[in-house]
Structure formats: structure tokens, C-alpha cells
């Protein structure tokens, strides 16, 4: 992962905005699992739930970027 880029891109901003919805989505997905909807977060490691939520947030951001350009969703 490159860290030499300075500042937040528009895509990053969209993902940041979408992240609470992505977390809520994964919390609902987890309701069917034995942890009953808890979101596994640990400040010392990247959990599977965090990785899933971040991935979904960036996919939502990508959709927003396409919509902004007036392109069809892929």
C-alpha cells in the first residue's frame, strides 16, 4: 500500500461517508452468525468485519464516482 499520496481524494471522502452504512450492513449480516450482530473491532489488528466494511465502503464510493460521471454501473 502506497502512503506517499498526500490528502484525501474524492473517492476517499465518499468511502468515509459510506463507512457507517457499510458497518451497519455487516452488523446485520452478522446477526445470522453466532456472535448475533456484534461488529468485531480491535484497535490492535484489522478484523475480518473491518476489512469487509472498508471494502464495501470503497465499492460504494466507486459507484458514486461512476454516477458522478454519468456512467452506468458496472
Per-residue H/E/C for 36-72: CCCCCCECCECCHHHHHHHHHHHHHHHHHHHHHCCCC
- Domain membership flag for residue 5: no
- Domain membership flag for residue 26: yes
pLDDT-derived band at 8, boundaries 50, 70, 90: very high
Q: What is the pLDDT of residue 11?
A: 96
pTM: 0.75
Distance CA(39)–CA(1), nearest Å, equals: 25
Return the number of other C-beta atoms located less than 10 Å from residue 59's C-beta.
13
- Domain membership flag for residue 47: yes
- Domain membership flag for residue 72: no
Q: What is the mean pLDDT of the chain?
A: 83
Q: Which structural domain range is residue 32 located in? A: 10-67
- Domain membership flag for residue 58: yes
Q: Are 15 and 58 in contact (CB under 8 A)?
A: yes
In the chain, how many domains are there?
1
Q: What is the pLDDT of residue 40?
A: 78
More confident residue, 25 or 57: 57
Cell 468515509 belongs to residue: 16
- Domain membership flag for residue 24: yes
Residues 32-64 pLDDT 10s: 666 566 777 788 888 888 898 999 999 999 999
Amino acid at each position: 500500500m502506497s502512503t506517499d499520496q498526500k490528502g484525501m481524494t474524492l473517492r476517499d471522502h465518499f468511502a468515509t461517508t459510506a463507512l457507517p452504512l457499510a458497518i451497519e450492513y455487516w452488523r446485520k449480516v452478522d446477526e445470522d452468525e453466532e456472535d448475533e450482530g456484534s461488529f468485531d473491532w480491535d484497535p490492535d489488528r484489522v478484523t475480518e468485519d473491518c476489512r469487509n466494511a472498508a471494502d464495501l465502503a470503497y465499492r460504494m464510493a466507486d459507484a458514486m464516482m461512476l454516477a458522478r460521471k454519468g456512467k452506468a454501473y458496472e
